[in-house]
Structure 1
């Protein structure tokens, strides 16, 4: 699921001056997406690369991809505005970029805070498998992470797992428990574009096998008031997700896109000694969410 950028396309993108984006509410403006698309389609092999990316995310057996933009990041700077516009242009070929957090810009920083809850996205510990915005009635269809800096000590491996494959390995009784609306997790306030709060919610939404969201976070069994049977079913699913996990280390410029209707994601712990690393040198990711277009294929 790693997608390299053809050298001719890289050379053309380095010199491509995409304009500053505009937003319509919390979503990337349609005018910006059309402008980006027009400029990018004129570069050699862009459409071919974008089609490969979409197939990796929505085709049979797919659900995630890593677009390798390291050379572009090195040439332009991994957090330079020109580079972020190019990455946003690729993202817009998949779905509509948006920010559910009004207090954050389109791209949200995920740095490292040694005094944060270790299991949080900005913590230093193991971040269990989860779906982002799990408690919204309309979670983002895609969650994406752009690596600016990996953990200089070598930790923080990204982990992914096919949620529907994990569910299929569960016993029928466990699946029945996960389909009941008894689960809840997290707070819900000051959010855009993700619907209303869903509390409680079912992990399995009743869609046909292999379809729909698997509303899960590995933190639910310990942080929700669940009966023993429902908690055990959630733990069984967590174990199956780990059994089927894929691990990868993101390098500078790597752009990970996860189809949340198919895969869940998480992170292994960062290496010990983070307090000795200067803040400016610690692991840094930028996060962007995507909403599938209304006319997108039903598998998306």
Structure 2
């Protein structure tokens, strides 16, 4: 699931000046996507790399990929030019968009030592979840671009195959997870993700191995659930941990996750974050993608 960029393609991308993007509402404009694609497909081995990426995300035993863009990040820096390039790569998978009107297309996920430790910008363990779990149309893909890993060596990314975890549960447990008994948080002022959804089923009624597994471990502590529903969710959380894979994102690594197949989280950052200047702490950039209808990943 780790994809290295061929050296010939790297060299061509370093010299490729992609145009500034434009948005249509909260989505990357079609005209921008077409311009990006025209420029990118003219580079050597780009099409082959894009096919490899899409295959990794959609094949039966796939669901995530990490594009190794470290050399490009070193050559270009991690500013606008590099981000345009990564946006163009993301657009080969699905349509980039921002569900948050107060944020630009790419959202910073830094480290705040006074934040709830379990949040994405906190310093503690961020348990398995899908992004925007309580939206009726969650993003099909969530993506994370590593600008800086934790300089103290913590913060491993953790992923788990949600459908494989569900398949290991008992029939009774799966039946309880399919009931509309779960809820988490509130949503407001969002674009492109439908309406607030709750209560919702963890399992959406799709055929086994398909559809969202609408889960966040935070609802175990922050939602009122009856004992049976809470226990079923807890069993799923344990199976997700049992089946997890973990790795450290390096500068320039770009993680793309199919939310219909995998859930994600993060191990705790290393102790001592307060000794690191804020500008030197771990920094990821997040971008969401919406699949086109009929491509095998859309609702």
TM (normalized to structure 1)? 0.99
* CA RMSD between the two structures: 0.8
- The answer as to whether partners of 1:57 and 1:64 remain within 8 angstroms in 2 is yes
Contact 2:140–2:298 (Cα < 8 Å) also in 1: no
Question: Which residue of structure 2 aligns with residue 51 of structure 1?
Answer: 51
Contact persistence 2:159–2:245 (CA under 8 A): yes
- Asked if the contact 1:98/1:290 (under 8 Å) is kept, the reply is yes
Structure 1 counterpart SS, 2:287: strand
What is the rounded CA distance, in whole Å, between the counterparts of 1:130 and 1:299 in structure 2?
19
Secondary structure of the 1:88 match is helix
- For 2:285, what is the secondary structure of its paired residue? strand
TM, length-normalised to structure 2: 0.99
Mapped to 1, the partners of 2:114 and 2:167 lie a distance apart of 38
Match of 1:269 in 2: 268
- The CA distance in 2 between the partners of 1:192 and 1:53, in whole Å, is 27
What SS class does the counterpart of residue 255 from structure 1 fall into? Answer: strand
Deviation string for 1:57-95 (max 9, x for gaps)? 0012000000000000000012x1110000000000000
Instruction: Name the structure 2 match of 1:119.
Output: 118
Tell me how far apart the structure 2 counterparts of residues 77 and 254 of structure 1 sit (CA, whole Å). Answer: 13
The alignment status of 1:63 with 2:63, answered yes or no, reads yes
* Structure 2, unaligned runs of 5 or more: none
Task: Please show how residues 143-158 of structure 1 align to structure 2 within 5 Å.
Answer: 143-158=142-157
What SS class does the counterpart of residue 128 from structure 2 fall into? strand
Find the aligned partners of 2:297 and 2:36 in 1 and give their Cα distance. 25
Matches within 5 A, 1:125-274: 125-274=124-273
User: Partners of 2:210 and 2:89 in 1: how far apart?
Assistant: 25
Q: How big is each residue's C-alpha offset from its partner over 1:102-140, in whole Å with a ceiling of 9 and x where there is no partner?
A: 000000000000000000000000000000000001000
* Per-residue CA distance 1:215-273 (angstroms, 9 max, x = gap): 00011111110000100000000000000000010000000000000000000000000
How far, CA to CA, are the matches of 1:85 and 1:198 in structure 2? 33
Structure 1 runs (4+) deviating above 2 angstroms are: 297-300
Q: Flag the 1:37–1:246 CA change in 2: closer, same or farther, 3 A.
A: same
- When residues 194 and 124 of structure 1 are mapped into structure 2, their CA distance, relative to the original with a 3 A threshold, is same
Equivalent residue runs for 1:9-28 within 5 Å: 9-28=9-28
Query: Aligned ranges for residues 30-49 of structure 1 at < 5 Å?
Result: 30-49=30-49
TM-aligned CA deviation for residue 143 of structure 1? 0.2
The corresponding residue for 1:85 is 84
Partners of 2:185 and 2:291 in 1: CA distance: 24
Q: Note the C-alpha offset of 1:162.
A: 0.1
